[in-house]
Structure 1
Amino acid sequence: MTSAHQPITWFVTGASRGLGAHWVKAALDRGDRVAATSRSISTLDHLVETYGDRALPLQLDVSDAAAVDQAVRTAEERFGGIDVLVNNAGHALMGAVEEVSPEQARAQYDVNFFGPLWTSRAVLPGMRARGNGRIIQVSSYGGLVAYPTMGLYHSSKWALEAMSQALAGEVAGHGIHVTLVEPLTFATDLGTSAPAVKPMPVYDGVRAALMAGMQDSPFVTGDPAATADALLAIADAPNPPLRVLFGSNGIKTLRAEYDRRIDELEKWDHISQLAQGDAVPE
């Protein structure tokens, strides 16, 4: 016989649509409390109508560090603390490196990297004081690989991966767990909110090759609603992983990717040794 679920408090960014909306609903449906944020608070009004004071809608631009601090304080004052932070807000900028404007590049990092950085920093004092907490960073399969014409999006997720892995080691002694969730392919509107780049014809062939390759992708588009049970399982796990893929067939593809990296490093190891110089490692 299992014990009754003890309600916990969530702080979820990007809560009004896509995966975030499913996760907020799942947490509230099981009796938890949720501070749900969105750039447009009107998209969250239905939460209070359905769940009452267990839902706290907050208007938030995650790129604004001061606003993030205030939103976290508001949630902590309302609920007494935050048990689980889910950094879900993000968008996917599509375009070759040369096609992306400086403003677009900065906006991509403001949301996908600096947003999670500011929210993670904001919740840490409270979690550390209580001796427990969960930080769930929504990365991507694109945080582990990098494809042409997606360099800025992928690099923002690579940066999130590195920061989060370092953070996990820094806070483990305080009872705080960090997990990188890496979704594969799901039917969401991730790319629709990103600004459009001005395409350069010189990269049309690269784009066409990428699209052709996607036709042979082993990934099958997943059901966004099904990710809710997976996220709850991660939040409830006594010892959650640092990384977890959401979706099937990712491991096989990643194994091939990492094998290629090691093979290339070994092939060019003579250059590594050349760079070492005369100094012989002990």
Structure 2
Amino acid sequence: MPQTILITGASSGIGLASAQLFHQRGWNVIATMRTPESDTKLKELDPSRMLVTRLDLQDKTSINPAILSGIEKFTTIDVVLNNAGYGQNGIFEAMTPEQIQAQFDVNVFGVMDVIRAILPIFARTNVEGSLIKFALEGFTEALSYELASQNIFVKSVVPHGGVTGNNFVARFMRDAAVDSTLTSYDAFLAKTATSYKNMVAAAAVSSEDVAELIYAAATDGSDKLRYFIGDDKRGFLKARYESKNDDEYIAYMRSFFK
């Protein structure tokens, strides 16, 4: 029997590329998104192994129906890819509480709600499940320790240096938090804007590249936690994992924003 993966945020970018790749490799795919009626690509694939359904991380009532519809069609779920999320551009002081709450509802609490809903499914069906997630480093690592005891493996796929072929950048720039009265940040914002534009212009990793790494993480049979992909020209990852101490790491990172 084919294995089944549930993917959040499958309407575009990495989520869409992952849904297409897993389907191509013979998996059953539960492709979830906020507006499934707008999908024009996944519904063209073999419907016996593809289910496109609604799941909006800001609407908790949509999570269980999406999972249950997938179980009804495919009997079980083996892997969950928590892909849905977005970036927020702007300094903290310019962001409204509503903007911050909305992002946490999607990127943090939404992920937790999906995991909370799927764990009983893994337990009930005796599945050796996998949860694949982007970022949320502290929560991901802590969760990996406790769920390993249940034969559920948590994996964090971390793209860095910019990814092409997704809507992340467009939304990141469109929803920027701006306050023209906060002039003391002007120099900082100019420097970070230049750095970000250079990163986006140099992005060489595609959504399809990330999808391939996600597939490898889902199928390598290991308990490896972190998978990195991207160009570390700025040395952020090297600094994070190879610095002699925390002070050295913080000094290196601050040098980019002075």
Query: Structure 2-normalised TM-score?
Result: 0.84
The residue type equivalent to 1:209 in the other structure is K
Q: Does the 8 Å CA contact 2:7/2:32 hold for their aligned counterparts?
A: yes
CA distance in 2, matches of 1:199, 1:205: 14
| Structure 1 match to 2:192 | 210
Distance 1:261 1:192, change over 3 A: farther
Counterpart Cα distance in 1 of 2:100 and 2:236: 28
Structure 2 unaligned blocks of 5 or more: 252-258
Asked if 1 retains the 8 angstrom alpha-carbon contact of 2:157 and 2:213, the reply is: no
Match of 2:254 in 1: none
Residue 176 of structure 2 corresponds to residue 196 of structure 1: yes
Structure 1: state its 5+ residue gaps. Answer: 1-5, 140-159, 268-282
How far 1:249 sits from its partner (Å)? Answer: 2.5
Structure-2 separation of matches of 1:172 and 1:138: 18
Is 1:93–1:191's contact at 8 Å kept on the other side of the alignment?
Answer: no
Alignment equivalent of 1:263, drawn from 234, 247, 252: 247
- Counterpart selection for 2:154 from 159, 172, 178: 178
In the TM superposition, what whole-angstrom CA distance separates every residue of 1:98-119 from its partner, at most 9, and x where no partner exists? 0000110000101111111111
Report how far residue 232 of structure 1 moved: 0.9
**Aligned match for 1:249, one of 211, 215, 232:** 232
Going from structure 1 to structure 2, the CA distance change for 1:174 and 1:257 (only over 3 Å counts) comes to closer
Aligned pair count?
A: 242
**TM-score of the superposition, structure 1-length normalised?**
0.78
CA distance in 1, matches of 2:74, 2:16: 20
CA distance in 2, matches of 1:10, 1:209: 41
Which one is further off, 53-62 or 184-193?
184-193
Of residues 133, 137, 149 in structure 1, which corresponds to 2:133?
137
Indicate the RMSD between aligned Cα atoms, in angstroms: 2.6
Task: Give 2:167's aligned amino acid.
Answer: D
User: For the residues of structure 1 that align with 2:205 and 2:127, how far apart are their CA atoms?
Assistant: 36
Map of 1:75 onto structure 2:
70
2:95 is equivalent to residue 115 of structure 1: no
More off after superposition, 15-24 vs 206-215: 206-215
Higher mean alpha-carbon deviation, 39-48 vs 191-200, is at 191-200
1:261 deviates by: 5.2
Range with greater deviation from structure 2 (120-129 or 251-260): 251-260
Kindly tell me: are residues 261 and 107 of structure 1, through their superposed partners in 2, closer, same or farther at Cα, counting changes over 3 Å?
A: farther
Give 2:189's aligned amino acid: R
The one-letter amino acid of 2:192's match is L
Matched AA of 1:79 = F
Query: Counterpart of 1:164?
Result: 140
Secondary structure in structure 2 of the residue aligned to 1:245: strand
Provide Cα deviations, 1:173-205, integer angstroms capped at 9, x if missing partner.
Answer: 111100111111112221433533233352221
Offset of residue 52 of structure 1 = 1.5
Q: Does 1:222 align with 2:198?
A: no
